[in-house]
Amino acid sequence: MNKMIFAIFWPPLLLALVSLLVTIIFGWLIPVFLQDIAFLEQMLDLSRLTSKPVAAGILFLSIVWIFYQMHELWQWQKGKRPTCHKCGGLVKEKQGKSGSYYQCYGCKSKRDVANQPQ
Q: Is 86 in the site for Zn ion (CB under 5 A)?
A: yes
Query: Interaction with Zn ion in 98-117: which residues (CB under 5 A)?
Result: 104, 106-107
8 closest CA partner among 85, 99, 71: 71
Comparing CB distances to Zn ion, the nearer of 63 and 109 is: 109
* 106 Cβ contact list (under 8 Å, min separation 6): 1, 3, 4, 7, 84, 87, 89, 90
Nearer to Zn ion, 7 or 16 (CB): 7
String of b and e for 65-93 (b: at least 16 CB within 10 Å)?
bbeebeebbeebeeeeebbbbebebbbee
Q: x/- binding map, residues 38-77, to Zn ion, per CB under 5 A?
A: ----------------------------------------
Q: Is 87 in the site for Zn ion (CB under 5 A)?
A: yes
- Please report whether residue 5 would count as binding Zn ion according to CB under 5 A: no
Q: Does 90 bind Zn ion (CB under 5 A)?
A: no
Measured from the CB atom, the residue of 7 and 58 that comes closer to Zn ion is: 7
Q: Is 94 in the site for Zn ion (CB under 5 A)?
A: no
∠ CA 106-110-111, rounded to 5°: 125
- Interaction site with Zn ion (CB under 5 A): 84, 86-87, 89, 104, 106-107
